[in-house]
Structures are given as C-alpha cells and as structure tokens.
Structure 1
C-alpha cells in the first residue's frame, strides 16, 4: 500500500472551520501538508487551526467570505506568504437557501450561486495562475453534491451551482493538463448541519452527535457516514498516487467510494431530412420515451425502526 506523504506541500481549504471542510483540512495536515484554513466565522477558523496544530500539523487562518476575486487573491496570497507556494486548493465553502422555485427570491439564488459557483471559479482561477507560474503542477479539488448530479427538490440554486462545479472540473482538467494540474470534483455524503435538516437523516445525525454508530444500511447501503469518512479522498487526490486522476466526479461517504458517470447520450433515433413535431410525437413513446431518466436523489433505504 503506497504511503501518502504531502510534506512540503501547502493547501487552501475554503469553508474549513467546521464540518466537511474541517475534516479535509485535518486530513491534509495529517499527511504533512501546511494548510490555510478559511471561514467567515473567525472563532471557528481559529479553533480549527488550534485542533490541527495541537495534533502536530501546520495551519493558519484566513477569515474571508469567498466569492470575490479579492477574497480568492487573499487566500492564495496567504498560502504563498506563509508557506512559499500553493499546491492544493479545496473549494468547499457553501451555504443553503432552500426554496421551491416559485418562492425563491433573487437574493436566495444569488447568495448560493455566489458562494458555491462564483467562489469556486474565483478561487480556482487565482490558484491556477499561481500554480502555473510556480511550476510543478498542482491539485484542484472542487466539492460537488448528489444534488448537482441528479437535482433535488427545493434546491434550484444549490443544484445548479453544484452541477456547474462538476462541469468546471471537466473543463479545467483539459485546460490545465499541460501544466500538470489535476482537477476533480468530490461528491461527499456525510452527517453535517446540512444533511441534518433532511427529515430521513435527521434522527441518525442526532444519534451520531451522541456517540451512537450509524447502521450498515447507511454506511454501506447509502454511503452515508461522518465528515471524517469523506476526508481521505482529498489527500489521495493531492498525492503523487493520483497524478493520472483528473476530470472525474468521485463520490464518497460512509464505507463507500464511487465513480459518477459523465452525462452521455443513451438512446437516439433518426429521420431522413430531419424531424417534424408530428414525427417526434409518433416515435417518442417507442424510442427515446421508452426509458425516461429518473431525477432527484433517491430516498434512502433506512433500517426499519
């Protein structure tokens, strides 16, 4: 089994004061990387840094809300100022403003897209500029979601942003390949404040807070676990062992890791000279309409009470 050693590398993890971001930052530091912890909550960021340094790692805090170019430049600049270079960027920062379409306001939409999608773009752009200038390659780990792969009721803004992040990972993996920079999207499923608001998961998230283990039906069947269960994927992707892994969407949670498929055509029909609306109506039921694709995140198969 290869050893994952990130000694000498530095990383920025956005939204890493708590939850999944903190787990990513701790995992990177545990494998030797120096980490810039980022959060909008100064107390959370400082507590995260303390937990990393007390465990023998190296970390500093940079308190700023991601989304703007100025914030991205601050984060990259802090890594370079403290550690001399930037090797890894993890774009984890995010918020929720869940509403059904007819109740979602402009502010609800813009806030989520600014943090998730624009924040990923601005931070990745600043990191790519630095990594290309310094040479030696690098790693961009973009944080996606099952909602971005399949859609989710009440999450127009969030699902759209996460779908865009998956598309950016595929695009940037091509654009940055010559510079030796890998780009992948991780799709984590974990007990967090976000998933704790989902009724089906809420009792299990609460039980976990009280030290009760998650049942195998969740850990294996649903790939649902703790933030720490998702963390190993990040240092792996940042390591030499993953130099050939790029442009992928990789799910992880509980005891499960999985590769998501990319969108592709699954069925086609042809008409000489092109299609009319009537011809489409005639052939649709027996051709393309015979196996419509499902939408939404499947309901979890939870153990019976």
Structure 2
C-alpha cells in the first residue's frame, strides 16, 4: 500500500478536506502538488506537509479551465518528475433555493466542480496514457449528488454529474490500466460548523475528543481524517481492481453506493397508453413504488441536541 515514489495532485487542497487528503497521501510516501486560489493558503499547506516530513509544492490556479489543468500536470512533472495520482477536490458553494438562484450562482458551481473535474481528469488521463502509467483518479462526490438536498440545485447537479462521468471514464480507461472512482465524504467542514444539528459533534472534534457514537456510527459522520485513508487506499497499487465506483466514507462507516437500478418493472402488451396508465396508476405509482428523495437525518438523542440559544 506504500505510495513511495508516486506523485499526486490534489485540487482545492490548501485547507479543509483537501489538505487532509494531501497530508495522508504524503504520509504514505507520495510527493504532492497542493492547489489553491490563494498563494498564502497554498504556501501554508506546503509548509505543513514539509513539517510532517513529506514533499510538496504548489500550483496556484482556479480550477475549471483547461489552462489550469495543464498547469497542474506541468507542475507535477516539473517539481517531481511525473504524475501518478489525481484527486479532484476543488469546489465552492452558492446555496440558494431554485427561485433565488442566479445564473451566476449556477455557473460558478458547475464550472469549478463539474467542469474542473472534467478538465483535470482529461489532462491527467492524457499524461497517463502517453506515458503508459496505470494512474489513479479519485473524484469527490457528495451525498447531495446521490440523494438531493434543499437549496443545492447547482451542487447536486455537479456532484451527480461527477459520478456519471466516473462510470463513463471507467469504461474508457480500462484498457490503459487507469482506475477512476468517486469518494462520497461525510465529514466535518466549515459548512457543517454552522448547522446546529452537528453542534455536539463539532464541539467534541474541536476539543480533541472522539465524536459521540451517534454521529460516527449511526450517521456515518466524522472527521476529514476518516475519509483520507480511503483516498490514499484508492491511490495505491492494491486498489488496481477497483474502478467505476462511488464509495462513501464518514466516521465509522464505509459504503459502496449502487448504480441506479429499476425499482419496479411492469409490462403491458401494446405498450402503456394514456388510458392504460390512468387505469393502473395506483398499482404502478402507489406509495410503495415511489422512491424517496433527499436525506432524512435521524432524530438527535436528547443529550446531543444543540443548546437552546443556538438552535434554529
């Protein structure tokens, strides 16, 4: 499982989850290209990895364009002599309900998450194929892309699209020996710090204590480090047979998400006319046949409920 001699790019790795992924890859022996839009943030991340005893350099660029993708791959080659691993973590949020979401809100999120993943993967795969490298590509999805979430039209579209691209790329990259997977993290971030539901989990983490079992086990919610191990594993030689998958990680839980599949199947000779659908609507589309949407969080145990002053 050692990554000694490997070179990785982690987009959006100046802080947060991306930095945790980069640090774990470096801890396992990989040299890492840090990417951020802020030069100071990128430099601080490089310093952290160097202080850990790892090797890192930075490429400051806003992910999304083909030019940024080329700069990232070139940075890996120039600083460390090649590229073996790509983790596409860069992302932004512009959360608003549908009628309040502007074209700019939508385009910004799609450009960074979806197009940024596309351009970076295209550039990395070209490098892998041209140099006969059995590379590892790890994209970052989200439960929102799998289930939907209120106020996240743009983010849900991007994250669902990433998983769709991964399943397509797995077919296209198979002959080259390149694997591509999507990791679905469920972890504490700057965003979850503002959600009262997670207050007790965040407080425990910030005080250096383990999160309560309800969060880690029942919800599968944990720290960035709980996800970082999966990132490093998928980048390793041992994961050579794993591709085209969406794998969830959070707290004590690991999940392999299924491909969308038909929940019910009905046949009618001659096809389904408007009248036939009307006549059979209750049987075809009754409550038990319809699928759920969105995530239903479990009720918080009383001792883990947020303090009244902070509840919303």
- Residue 187 (structure 1) aligned with residue 184 (structure 2): yes
Aligned to 1:29: 26
TM-score, length of structure 1 as denominator length = 0.96
TM-score, length of structure 2 as denominator length = 0.94
* 1:206/1:95 CA distance change after superposition, 3 Å: farther
Distance in structure 1 (CA, Å) of the matches to 2:280 and 2:13 = 51
Aligned to 2:169: 172
Q: CA deviation at 1:267?
A: 0.6
SS at match of 1:264: coil
Q: Given that residues 139 and 181 in structure 1 are in contact (C-alpha distance below 8 angstroms), is that contact kept between their aligned partners in structure 2?
A: yes
Q: What is the root-mean-square deviation in Å for CA atoms of aligned residues?
A: 1.2
Q: CA deviation at 1:98?
A: 0.4
Alignment of 1:1-305 (within 5 A): 4-289=1-286, 290-305=288-303
Q: CA deviation at 1:206?
A: 4.1
Distance in structure 2 (CA, Å) of the matches to 1:291 and 1:122 = 39
Distance in structure 2 (CA, Å) of the matches to 1:65 and 1:302 = 39
* Structure 1 runs (4+) greater than 4 angstroms displaced: none
Q: CA deviation at 1:51?
A: 0.9
SS at match of 2:189: coil
Q: Which runs of 5+ in 1 are unaligned?
A: none
Aligned to 2:310: none
Distance in structure 2 (CA, Å) of the matches to 1:152 and 1:208 = 25
Deviations 1:174-209 (A, max 9, x none): 100101100000000000112223331245324422
Q: CA deviation at 1:288?
A: 4.1
Q: Which runs of 5+ in 2 are unaligned?
A: 304-312
